Chains A and B, each alone.
Chain A
Amino acid sequence: MSAFNAIGEEREIDRDEFTPGVEPQPTWCPGCGDFGVLKALKQALPEVGKTPEEVLTVTGIGCSGKLNSYLDTYGFHTIHGRSLPVARAAKLANTDLEVIAAGGDGDGYGIGGNHFIHSARENHDMTYIVFNNEIFGLTKGQTSPTSPKGHKSKTQPSGSAKTPLRPLSLSLNAGASYIARTAAVNPNQAKEIIKEAIEHDGFAHIDFLTQCPTWNKDARQYVPYIDVQESDDYDFDVTDRREAAEMMHETEDVLNEGTVLTGRYYVDEDRPSYQQEKAAVGEMPDEPLAERYFDDDAEWERSYDLLDRHT
């Protein structure tokens, strides 16, 4: 008998199972884009056959970080910028878990930028959702790494002198094997993309545009979006790095001009996940590490066997 019976359980799963009881109610502002991510996840998870107990959601700090307070899975609400290292390790310790990391653009592209680059580079098998509202929400409206140049805030009163970060291109260059952008104002696409990301074996990065009506009223995310997969104007091969890179550039150039392009930008099904790569070099155990502790018959090698070389 497995010590983790909720994993791989086959049954009809009701979307309501992902909603905690009465408490706590979301504290997000009315109209906040974060509701869109929550809703899309609640729809996507049962559709890919996941039970709440086999999913671990790991979040950072920010309005976005509250996601798993309102989503009834196993959860770990970590610290600002550090969701990815926590999530990566949980997956390494128990490869059977479905691990989803999430946080804001400040959290993920700012303070946690280094972890983002390396998680993508290593291609850890997990989904990473960045709530991109181009602003710091929870700390009340400071400029974030994705805020447009010239963006004025209390901490950059004359307008930001910084060029915004290009998360999709960064992700591609760092090595993520699935990259998409979607938007809270586009619930159907959001759900489909989340499903694909979960089912993808490797680091699936979703730049999720979430409007912040409280602090970022100017953000162009309210304007109609264009789904690049649906539009004849944007014909490109998502499995081709160069074409994907070009499309990402186009998307990132136009975002601040009022045009929002969303969809899948890059999908590499051939690249092995980090766990597979690590197994290939012989540095990954065959079974989930976590299972071993419950296995009475497991052979525990002792240091005693290593002493020969010291005698």
Chain B
Amino acid sequence: MSSDELIWRIAGGSGDGIDSTSQNFAKALMRSGLDVFTHRHYPSRIRGGHTYVEIRAADHEVQSRGDGYNFLLALGDSFARNPQEEAYYGNEEIKPLSENLDDLREGGIIVYDEGLISEEDVADIELEARAEENDWHVFPLDLRSLAREYGREVMRNTAGVGVTAALLEMDLDHIEDLMEDAMSGDVLEANLEILHEAYDTINEEYDFDHELRAPEGSHDTEQALLSGSNAIAYGAIDAGCRFIAGYPMTPWTDVFTILSQNFPDMGGVSEQVEDEIAAAALAVGASHAGAKAMSGSSGGGFALMSEPLGLAEMTETPIVLVESMRAGPSTGMPTKPEQGDLEHVLYTSQGDSSRVVFAPGNVEEAYDQTRLAFKIAWDYQIPAIVIYDQKLSGENTNVDVEFFDREPQPDLGSTLTEDELREAAHDASGKFRRFNYDDAENGVSPRSLPGQKGGRFLATGNEHSPVGHISEDPDNRVFQMERRLEKLEHIREELEAEHASNQTTFGDENAEYGVITWGSSQGAVREAVERLNENGHSVAGLGVSDMMPFPETEVTEFLERVDEAMVVEMNATAQFRGLIQKELGRFGDEMTSLLKYNGEPFEPAEIVEGYEVNLAEEDRQPTAQVRIEPATGD
């Protein structure tokens, strides 16, 4: 017996080892041949506070979290037992159980740790009655004592995994293998013992009649389980990036950490500096001197980068910045995703923007578009930004290993060698015409690097002449401005010709109705569109990644094909829909919005419901957490 999909949720206190346990279990599921997708929910606290990780596993492709889930492993919040914490936060021991019941599907399984969650608390939340009503199968087990008996209390995670495997009739092979990779000695011994003891306890002592079992699947090729942050870091490495500067801020810290840990072995430089202004300025300085450099941050830190970003535009210094969005304004909700920084990233810094902005929609796109960001930045001498969010940053998906086997790109694009510099244009005093506009191709005038013979010039954030001297000459201003902006037109053409795949279309091509989205909401939208089509609707979907320059042709064609479109995004002011209207100058009265900004990503069902309400023009909100925004006239 195997089920169609398993959505396993492990809940506990932040710091209880939920992350590493779930990472290993997700990998075990992947190794057993399933496609997996993880979703992480955590509070902005270092230890304690209710947190959970969800793993969705199926025999078919999964691109988002599901609607609700069907297996809860509630470990209890061990940090809530600390009297001081309890005085401050209240008794939270039960939260991993009580907070998660709403989303548990009918017929689902609950395993909870009796050792931590008291009988009275369970009675208080009327678990028995609710279980009966929803046909839940409840297994109270003293995981804490079991863990203590063979090892230490923290190993109750392992006991939980053993119980899970038994209830789902899974083999322990993959789980054991992963444990052997991760630990050794007494710790490994103890964990293996706990795993088996838990597994056997279920099989020997319980008769169970639930229907949920682990799905069965197989992969033809080797798979790797990684997050959007991994993909961005690896994309940077393969693009030849060997310089990173940053200042920690959640969730950007993930990318910063991955590169900092790998650079020493690959001859790269990582710098943690005094603030984000410095971080982005370091990227500019390193790139000016000949490194492929990047920096990044999350909303508040990116705000500080506004200055060096403008400096990079004016001096035409290539850099890549990554912006990992979390809910704003200001410090907002540090551990919650939102797509609220789009306008910030597109328009921050003074003057007319000349920058490239990519918003990858999943792990694969995160890798590809980071590589592309470096290529475009160095070919066109322009800053490129990769914008994504806390959701994509932390979610893990399985990807075919072969996918990453792309050629490295260790070249500096439009940078000249000394031989080439000898042939290049110089002015009468022997200075290199670094910012020449006469013979610029696609708006790009090739650059030299400090230390090269024959390439001397001045880079300045002031408007400047071809050799880089400060200039307020009106003609020069117009030529330079037009040249800088001209690049965007050529980048748009190049992206359209060679990388139209940055935009993803799905669903029914000839549909009357369209759903458009950007960035990490793509997964949930794809799944919703598939479901709608299965349910007899006729819907086409479009996930857009190119934010600047905007893919005019592709989006126009899509909007012309459908009668009406719903734009789905995680913010309250419909920023992306605004961008479409601004860029295309029409379609205002054909687009409605489905918005969510409570700190939780979309679930596919919410999009399905939003679509139905929207289409039927019913006078009701689809759910309490999402908002329909009506169309506006052009």
B-binding residues in A (CB < 8 A): 3-7, 9, 20-24, 52-54, 56, 58, 61, 66, 68-69, 72-79, 82, 84-94, 96-97, 114-115, 117-118, 278, 282-294, 298, 300-304, 306-307, 310-311
Identify the closest chain A residue to B396 (Cβ).
Answer: A310
The 7 A-B residue pairs with the shortest CB-CB distance in the complex, in nearest-first order: A21-B429, A290-B290, A89-B285, A303-B234, A4-B451, A86-B285, A77-B460
Q: Does B264 lie at the interface of the complex (its beta carbon under 8 Å from any beta carbon of A)?
A: yes
Tell whether B455 is near chain A: CB-to-CB under 8 Å: yes
Pull 26 A–B residue pairs with CB atoms less than 8 Å apart, ordered by A: A4-B452, A5-B418, A20-B429, A21-B427, A21-B428, A53-B451, A75-B459, A76-B315, A76-B460, A77-B460, A77-B462, A82-B277, A82-B311, A86-B282, A86-B285, A86-B288, A93-B286, A94-B449, A97-B451, A289-B290, A290-B449, A302-B237, A304-B404, A307-B224, A311-B222, A311-B224
Q: Are A89 and B225 in contact (CB under 8 A)?
A: no
Closest CB-CB distance, A19 to chain B, in whole Å?
9
B427's closest neighbor in chain A, by CB?
A: A21
B278 in contact with A298 (CB, 8 Å):
no
B614 lies within 8 A of chain A by Cβ: no
Residues of B within 8 A of A7 (CB): 451
* B38 smallest CB distance to A (angstroms): 13
CA of A301 to CA of B408, assembled, Å: 8
Is B243 interfacial (CB 8 A cutoff)?
yes
* Distance between A123 CB and nearest chain B CB, rounded to angstroms: 14
Tell me if B282 and A304 are in contact (CB < 8 A). no
Q: Closest B-chain residue to A82, C-beta based?
A: B281
Cα A291 to Cα B450 in complex, Å, equals 12
Check B293–A93 contact: CB distance below 8 A: yes
Point out which of B238, B270, B273 has the most chain A C-beta atoms below 10 A from its C-beta: B273
CA distance A300 to B411 in the complex (A): 11
B246 at the interface (CB under 8 A from A): no
Does B457 interact with chain A (Cβ within 8 Å)? yes
**What is the minimal beta-carbon distance from B42 to any residue of chain A, in angstroms?**
21
- A55-B226 Cα distance, complex, nearest whole Å: 44
B279 neighbours in A (Cβ, 8 Å) = 85
Take A79-B308, A90-B288 as given contacts and tell me if A303 and B456 are in contact as well, using a CB distance cutoff of 8 Å. Answer: no
Whole-angstrom CA separation of A91 from B429 in the bound complex: 27
Contacts of B283 in A (CB 8 A): 89
* B404 in complex: contacting residue of A22, A58, A87, A307, CB < 8 Å: A307
Specify which of A89, A285, A310, A311 lies most central, judged by the most chain B CB atoms within 10 Å of its CB.
A89
User: B462 touching A311 by the CB < 8 A rule?
Assistant: no
Contact call A306/B459, Cβ cutoff below 8 A: no
Residues in chain B near residue A82, CB distance under 8 A: 277-278, 281, 307-308, 311
Chain B residues lying within 8 Å of A298, measured Cβ to Cβ, are: 410
Given the known A-B contacts A294-B417, A303-B404, are A93 and B290 also in contact in the complex, defined by CB atoms under 8 Å? yes
Return chain B residues, CB-CB under 8 Å to A97. Answer: 289, 450-451
For B419-458 the 0/1 string (1 means CB < 8 A from A) is 0000000011111000000000000000001111111111
Q: In the complex, how many angstroms separate the beta carbon of B77 from the nearest chain A beta carbon?
A: 29
- Shortest B27–chain A CB gap in Å is 8
The residues of A that contact B289 with a CB separation of less than 8 Å are 56, 89-91, 93-94, 97, 290
Give CA–CA (A149, B405) in the complex, Å: 64
Chain B: how many interface residues by the 8 Å CB criterion?
81
Q: Are A307 and B401 in contact (CB under 8 A)?
A: yes
Asked if residues A118 and B273 are in contact (CB atoms below 8 Å), the reply is yes
Asked if B237 and A303 make an inter-chain contact with CB atoms under 8 angstroms apart, the answer reads yes
A311 to B20 CA separation, bound complex (whole angstroms): 15
CA distance A301 to B410 in the complex (A): 10
Q: Is B586 an interface residue (CB 8 A)?
A: no
Q: Are A289 and B243 in contact (CB under 8 A)?
A: yes
Question: Quick check: A85 and B273 within 8 Å, CB to CB?
Answer: yes
- Whether B266 sits at the interface, judged by CB under 8 Å, is yes
- Residues on B with beta carbons closer than 8 Å to the beta carbon of A54: 450-451
| CB-CB under 8 A for A77 and B459, given A89-B281, A92-B271, A289-B291 | yes
Measured between beta carbons, the chain B residues less than 8 angstroms from A311 are 222-225, 401
Residue of B nearest to A295 (CB): B410
B262 and A306 within 8 A (CB): yes
- Nearest CB in chain B: distance from A292 CB, A: 7
- By a CB distance below 8 angstroms, the chain A residues around B36 are none
A150-B288 Cα distance, complex, nearest whole Å: 42
Contacts of B455 in A (CB 8 A): 53, 74
Complex: A303 Cα to B292 Cα, angstroms: 16
List of B residues within 8 angstroms of A302 by Cβ: 237-238, 408
Expressed in whole angstroms, the Cα–Cα distance for A4 and B286 within the complex equals: 15
CB distance from B396 to the nearest CB of A (A): 9
Complex alpha-carbon distance, A62 and B406, angstroms:
47
CB of B53 closer than 8 Å to a CB of A = no
**A52: B residues at CB distance < 8 A:** 456
B230 interfacial contact with A, CB 8 Å: yes
CB distance from B303 to the nearest CB of A (A): 15
Tell which of B238, B285, B458 touches A68, judged by Cβ atoms closer than 8 Å: B458
Which B residues lie within 8 Å of A23 (CB)?
429, 469
- Kindly list chain A residues whose C-beta atoms are within 8 Å of the C-beta of B454: 53
A20–B467 CA distance with the chains assembled, in angstroms? 11
User: What is the CA–CA distance of A187 and B438 in the complex, to the nearest angstrom?
Assistant: 43
How far does the Cβ of A204 sit from chain B's closest Cβ, in whole Å? 18
On whether the beta carbons of A118 and B274 are closer than 8 Å, the reply is yes
Please give the distance in Å from A213's CB to the nearest CB on chain B: 23
- Knowing A77-B470, A86-B282, A311-B224 are in contact, say whether A306-B234 is a contact too (CB < 8 A): yes
Q: Given A75-B468, A86-B288, A290-B291, verify A282-B264 contact (CB < 8 Å).
A: yes
Tell me how far the C-beta of B6 lies from the nearest C-beta in chain A, rounded to whole angstroms. 21
**What CA separation (Å) do A289 and B267 show in the bound complex?**
8
Residue of B nearest to A24 (CB): B469
Verify if B17 is at the interface (C-beta below 8 Å from A).
no
Point out the residues of chain A lying under 8 angstroms from B412, CB to CB.
293
Contact of B417 among A3, A74, A90 (CB under 8 A): A3
Q: Nearest B residue to A56 by beta-carbon distance? A: B450
> Is B86 interfacial (CB-CB < 8 Å)?
no
A54, A66, A86, most chain B CB atoms within 10 A: A86
**B453 near A76 (CB under 8 angstroms)?**
no
B83 at the interface (CB under 8 A from A): no
In the complex, how many angstroms separate the beta carbon of B507 from the nearest chain A beta carbon?
A: 31
Tell me whether B457 and A74 are in contact (CB under 8 A). yes
For B234, list chain A residues within 8 Å (CB).
303, 306
CA distance A293 to B113 in the complex (A): 56
Q: Give the complex CA separation of A290 and B240 in angstroms.
A: 11
B461 near A78 (CB under 8 angstroms)?
A: yes
A77 to chain B, nearest CB (A): 4
Tell me which of B233, B268, B285, B451 has the highest count of chain A C-beta atoms within 10 A of its own C-beta: B451
Question: Binary interface profile of B, 102-140, with partner A (CB < 8 Å = 1, else 0)?
Answer: 000000000000000000000000000000000000000
Q: Are A76 and B452 in contact (CB under 8 A)?
A: no
State A91–B245 Cα separation when bound (angstroms). Answer: 14
